[in-house]
Amino acid sequence: AAWLGINIFLFTYYFLFFDRDGRYFYTRAILGSALAWARASAKCLNFNSMLILLPVCRNLLSFLRGTCACCRRTLRKQLDHNLTFHKLVAYALALLTAVHTIAHLFNLERYNQSQQATDGSLPAVLSKMHLQGSNKWLNPIHSNQTTVEYVAFTTIPGLTGVIITLALILMVTSSTEFIRRNYFELFWYTHHLFLVYFAGLVIHGIAGLVRGQTEQSMAEVPPHHCAEYLPQRDQNCTHDCCKDPEFGSIPAESWKWVLAPIILYVFERILRVWRAQQKVVVTKVVMHPARVLELQMQKKGFCMEVGQYIFVNCPAISPLEWHPFTLTSAPEEDFFSIHIRAAGDWTERLIDTFQLEIPRIEVDGPFGTASEDVFQYEVAMLVGAGIGVTPFASILKSIWYKFQQADQTLKTKKIYFYWLCRDTGAFAWFNDLLASLEQKMAESGKADFLTYRLFLTGWNTSIANNVALHFDTATDTVTGLRHKTIFGRPMWNMEFAAVAAAHPRSVVGVFLCGPEALAKSLRKSCHQHSSLDPRKVKFYFNKENF
């Protein structure tokens, strides 16, 4: 809301400024309202270009998350929407670029028409003023043979404008969900056109083709008083408006808006490169069912919290590509681990490589996510879909260690864990952890601390018959755990109603690592089952975003 309000204010303020200010009286005589549209959109473009890099400064966000640890929950949650805000700003840039470009196309056409006009009108007279001296030109087109296309591709503003627009189109179109999921490399490489975008933006306005009357000239020949005499003057003119108005360029300002974010982002990248050069030792490689690769690693000075993620690079596959993976280890362990599911060219090649040898791995991170806040809630609902269970592996492992160490500072009193999987193989690598948690909590007299529900969303007749045959056994036939696997999808309204009834005065944190469709369903349930009475149950939705 604040971002939208600032955009509306900037656009309205500068639109009215360029539409009414006396310095641009003569400019408006040639260009009309297109001047205000072009300049107002330019100011908003500068503002949004200043913001676009900040949400992807991962180290900055982790720092802010750490410093906001004592802030209100709603304030910290805003940091979890960094990628959503990044996309929102990008869409605004695309819209404002379209407005700015269309407005300037109208401007160029009107400049051209005024230059070719011979009717003695004010725009025609103003367009010929370049003949009177170097500081007196207002129309950048000085020849009747010049075309709009020629100006667009030969001047600095025109050429950089074309380059900026093309770079933006490529970045936006390659950022669609389909391309990111299926052709990540294309998305990753085209997104680095932001370097071209910012270089073009900084030099876009240095030529100063759009001009206005200077302050000194306005004092000598006020435009509102003298404009009517300008087309009618002769050589014997003796009144106060005989002197020609003088014009100056609008100074380039884009660099002032984007300098600080660019410097911040440069430091961000330098920090990433420095951390990536630190040696990573792969201590253990485990190949789980369903093509899931587990890597256990060690790195000097590595310090993590639950639910955090790292970026991983394998130079043997691609020296430039970095991919995010949630940490599945607990802070209490002497190593950090990730689980990688085959889901694209890069992960397929990585798994194949590790089956042959152990290549060199580079790691950047860790970085903070919403799951860091799980222990800030009295009650937590953890929802994982498929490999989306990884951040909760870290959380549940950490809980296991806290129980072992009899940690009295643990604020969380109850955890509900939901895992949705398409096939039985996906459950295999997580079973040992859940089994050990069951045993430890039973021994500690806190068997009711963790309630977990496993949902199998895809099965065949063979699995169904096997389950029916062993229905009365103490353990589940699919997982071997005490809790039986549920076939189908959760009835979220019933689940939330049960949690609300069991904890009528608690603050419940709902954490998801899964697809957007599931996120919408959970977000809706959080709103529906939260009480308006602040003394009663309240659900807060949190989603992992990479």
pLDDT at 206 over 60: yes
Position 429 scores a pLDDT of 63
pLDDT at 7 over 80: yes
More confident site: 405 or 475:
405
Same domain, 468 and 380: yes
Same domain, 360 and 383: no
| 86: three-class secondary structure by DSSP | helix
Number of domains observed in the structure of the chain: 3
Position 211 scores a pLDDT of 87
Please, are residues 452 and 419 in contact by the beta-carbon 8 Å criterion?
A: yes
Per-position b or e across 266-298, b if 16+ CB within 10 A of its CB: eebeeebeebbeeebeeeeeeebebebbbbbbe
Same domain, 304 and 320: yes
| Percentage, residues of the chain above pLDDT 70 | 86
Evaluate whether residue 173 is within a structural domain: no
Please, are residues 97 and 164 in contact by the beta-carbon 8 Å criterion?
A: yes
Q: Reading across the β-sheet that carries 450-456, which strands appear in turn?
A: 486-487, 450-456, 414-421, 379-385, 507-513, 538-543
pLDDT at 464 over 60: no
Average pLDDT, the chain: 83
Instruction: Indicate the Cα dihedral angle 225, 228, 233, 239, nearest 10°.
Output: -20
Evaluate whether residue 166 is within a structural domain: no
Position 86 scores a pLDDT of 92
| Other beta carbons within 10 Å of 183 | 16
Position 71 scores a pLDDT of 53
Position 306 scores a pLDDT of 84
pLDDT at 241 over 90: no
Q: Which of 59, 54, 78 is nearest to 367 (CA)?
A: 59
Q: Which of 398, 388, 470, 384 is nearest to 433 (CA)?
A: 398
Instruction: Find the domain containing 339 and state its range.
Output: 278-367
Same domain, 388 and 411: yes
State both tokens at 440: 């430890």
Q: What pLDDT digit, counting tens, does each position of 316-361 carry?
A: 888 878 888 888 888 888 889 988 887 777 888 999 998 888 899 9
State both tokens at 309: 């993620």
pLDDT at 402 over 70: yes
Same domain, 318 and 438: no
**How does residue 97 score in pLDDT terms, banded at 50, 70 and 90?**
very high
Task: Give the C-alpha separation, 379 to 507, whole Å.
Answer: 7
Same domain, 9 and 133: yes
Please, are residues 274 and 365 in contact by the beta-carbon 8 Å criterion?
A: no
Q: Give the mean pLDDT of 246-272.
A: 90
Same domain, 316 and 450: no
CATH of the domain at 432: 3.40.50.80
Same domain, 310 and 330: yes
Amino acid at 80: D
**How does residue 448 score in pLDDT terms, banded at 50, 70 and 90?**
confident
pLDDT at 426 over 70: no
- Range of weakest confidence among 75-79, 295-299, 379-383: 75-79
pLDDT at 115 over 90: no
